[in-house]
Chain A
Amino acid sequence: MKKFETFTGIVCPLDRSNVDTDAIIPKQFLKSIKRSGFGPNLFDEWRYLDHGEPGMDNGKRPLNEDFVLNDPRYQGAGILLGRKNFGCGSSREHAPWALEDYGFRVIIAPSFADIFFNNCFKNGILPIVFQEEIIDNLFAAAGGDKPLEIAVDLEAQQLKIAEDGVIPFEVDAFRKHCLLNGLDDIGLTLQHVDAIKTYEARRRQEAPWLFG
């Protein structure tokens, strides 16, 4: 996994609640057996005017100019700002793969759906939760003529915004540790092979039907 220490990027405001993973990456792109290359189809149905299918030349497709990702102010954005229950719906990890492939490394919202939240950390994306007031302020700031740039410091657990100073954020200690060091979860778990084997041996005795 990619390490995450600090990241500076432009904020792209996506002003909708309940953005689901079907919207983040529509199902037709889930037929791929790879984990890369989903960026051009991120938010496909909102981003393009035609219907997208795998293998199309996305450079030639008509863009929906009204969709925020196509707004000239937010080109090259690396931080996505959302509303409540971001990432609800299907468990597809293709959603964070698409966001990461597009260039988003941080997602800020008042709440996230659990599976999506979890999937972000596995892919070097930092999801940050703030209260609604802070989110409203960020939307106001990001919606101006000048792009809003934020520096995210994971170690210090702070967002730094040029004029407005610093906003602290919360992050789970274990997840922070993994992100900062780019740790592979499987590698970590396999340090506990003995504990797993001990547990398994005990369960085989207690509950043999689970091993039938």
Chain B
Amino acid sequence: MTNKTLYDKLWDSHVVRYDESDTALLYIDRQLVHEVTSPQAFEGLRIAGRKPWRVEANLATPDHNVPTTSRPNGIADISDPIARIQVETLNANCEEFGLTEFTMNDIRQGIVHVVGPEQGATLPGMTVVCGDSHTSTHGAMGALAFGIGTSEVEHALATQCLIQKKSKSMLISVDGKTAPGVTAKDIVLAVIGEIGTAGGTGYAIEFGGQAIRDLSIEGRLTVCNMAIEAGARAGFVAVDEKTIDYVKGRPYAPEGETLEQAIANWQTLHSDEGAEFDRVVNIDASEIKPQVTWGTSPEMVVSVDTQVPDPDRVDDPVKAEGMRRALDYMGLEAGTPVSEIDVDKVFIGSCTNSRIEDMREAAKVAKGRRVADNIKLALVVPGSGLVKQQAGAEGLDKIFIDAGFEWREPGCSMCLAMNADRLEPGERCASTSNRNFEGRQGQGGRTHLVSPAMAAAAAIAGYFVDVRDF
């Protein structure tokens, strides 16, 4: 038998059949469902008179459209009538088709990509899909997880399968150790800076190397979350003892004898010695510093101790033009030191950085300090009700509130600003989310992507600072 990559193993174990042109019918173990990309899929089922193939393979929760301010009355507290209809529609569809849903007031509600691993609903070796591009997150569990469109949501509901072609494989090996103060977020931003936002297009990325193995599972979730920002639909990490320890005891995880059987299988979920990848990228972890994006694409990223780059020094005219447009949109001059950029708002949250370890990192920086006067709003939005509860038990909520942060209810919030949490035109935000596209956090808003510690430090200082000196 030839040496297989982790991707080969995940892929091969899920192929139901191939057709003549090597297109596979791939079996899907878990589908996560949220309110924005599912209504048209359920409508499609209804029109065709179809039922979910294996209803218990699905798990739903509303996240994109829910308000993060106090909401004791659940749906009734959604003031935007169109958003309310969408969340109501999710409830109605889950009821009609029999899906399990963590509704707005359930303590388990949260961002789908936080909820899945937290519940043990996404397990090593699974295929996981969701109508959301950041589904790559779940790859951190040693799963093949990727985002799909609404037609595919309907397809997975109706058939428990998807029609897929195998991608090429890429290994991104982050070798050596990171310096103190450098987090999973900095690693993945540095990776995207290196390979570009289209660098992973057509590939499934395995993240490996010592710096990745050294990360906690939550850190790996952050890295895999942003695989899509590097163009790859799927990113994953080999299973190790940390993965297995993380999974054990979670509500949806197996127990007893089945667990033992599962563990034996999970221990095989790594690339074999000598397995070949279509592309290998090596990155030296010791060179990575805290990262800040300066532009309107995650690849427009620099280290905090440098300057905003100059398009006049770039040879490729299309790229230089893109940089000029980004500088113009961001209201920045080439050559400005990153540490001289003032911030108006701060957002700590999103499926990239809203887990308990992220909350702890940010709280460590905020403890005993005050948010600077020029900061109009500093939001902390935990990724799920359970993260919020845990943070409360550790007293993190109090640290944030005492420092002048707002401590909110779980949801996607200002990551995409579908609800009331958003930037006004021209406002500049230090954000722990994953996308800095034009208008992403509100029309005309300017997003700088950073780690939770860097975001908290920017809130305290009022401008970007190097968290290593903070």
**Residues of A at under 8 Å CB distance from B?**
16-18, 20, 22-23, 26-28, 30-35, 45, 51, 54-55, 83-85, 88-93, 96, 111-115, 118-119, 122-123, 172-174, 185-186, 188-190, 192, 195-196, 199-200, 203, 207-210, 212
Can you pick out 23 interface pairs between chain A and chain B where the beta carbons lie within 8 Å of each other? Answer: A22-B439, A30-B36, A31-B418, A33-B85, A33-B89, A35-B150, A45-B439, A85-B231, A90-B133, A92-B149, A111-B201, A115-B148, A122-B151, A172-B165, A173-B21, A185-B151, A186-B159, A195-B16, A195-B25, A196-B25, A209-B258, A209-B259, A212-B254
A207 touches B262 (CB 8 A): yes
Q: How far is the CA of A111 from the CA of B161 in the complex (A)?
A: 27
A18 touches B16 (CB 8 A): no
A209 touches B254 (CB 8 A): yes
Tally of A-B residue pairs with Cβ under 8 A?
Answer: 183
Encode B194-222 as 1/0 by CB contact (under 8 A) with A: 00011001100000000000000000000
Q: How far is the CA of A119 from the CA of B23 in the complex (A)?
A: 16
Say yes or no for B277: interface residue by CB 8 A criterion: no
**Residues of B at under 8 Å CB distance from A?**
16-17, 19, 21, 23, 25, 27, 29, 36-37, 39-40, 43, 48, 50, 53-54, 64-65, 80, 82-83, 85-86, 89, 123, 125-126, 131-133, 135, 147-152, 154-155, 158-161, 163, 165, 167, 197-198, 201-202, 231-233, 252-254, 258-259, 261-262, 265, 297, 318-319, 322, 325, 416-418, 435, 437-440, 443
Shortest Cβ gap from B444 to chain A (Å): 9
A192 touches B158 (CB 8 A): no
Q: How far is the CA of A20 from the CA of B447 in the complex (A)?
A: 15
A186 touches B27 (CB 8 A): no
Shortest Cβ gap from B314 to chain A (Å): 13
A196 touches B159 (CB 8 A): yes
B159 touches A85 (CB 8 A): no
Please, which residue of chain A has its CB at the minimum distance from the CB of B257? A208
B163 touches A189 (CB 8 A): yes
B154 touches A31 (CB 8 A): no
Query: Which residues does chain A contribute within 8 Å of B149, judged by CB atoms?
Result: 91-93, 96, 115, 118-119, 122
Q: A17-B322, A93-B150, A195-B25 are in contact. Are A33 and B39 (CB under 8 A)?
A: yes
B150 touches A30 (CB 8 A): no
Q: A32-B82, A209-B259, A209-B262 are in contact. Are A27 and B147 (CB under 8 A)?
A: no
A33 touches B43 (CB 8 A): yes
Q: How far is the CA of A144 from the CA of B83 in the complex (A)?
A: 44
Shortest Cβ gap from A103 to chain B (Å): 20
Query: Which residues does chain A contribute within 8 Å of B165, judged by CB atoms?
Result: 172
Besides A22-B440, A23-B439, 14 more A-B contacts (Cβ < 8 Å) are: A17-B318, A31-B80, A31-B85, A31-B86, A90-B416, A91-B37, A91-B149, A92-B36, A118-B152, A188-B163, A192-B25, A209-B254, A209-B258, A212-B258
Q: How far is the CA of A198 from the CA of B27 in the complex (A)?
A: 11
- The interface centre, meaning the residue of A16, A31, A91, A173 with most chain B CB atoms within 10 A of its CB, is A91
A33 touches B86 (CB 8 A): yes
Query: Which residues does chain B contribute within 8 Å of A208, judged by CB atoms?
Result: 254, 258, 261
Please, which residue of chain A has its CB at the minimum distance from the CB of B82? A31
A89 touches B322 (CB 8 A): no
Query: Which residues does chain B contribute within 8 Å of A173, judged by CB atoms?
Result: 21
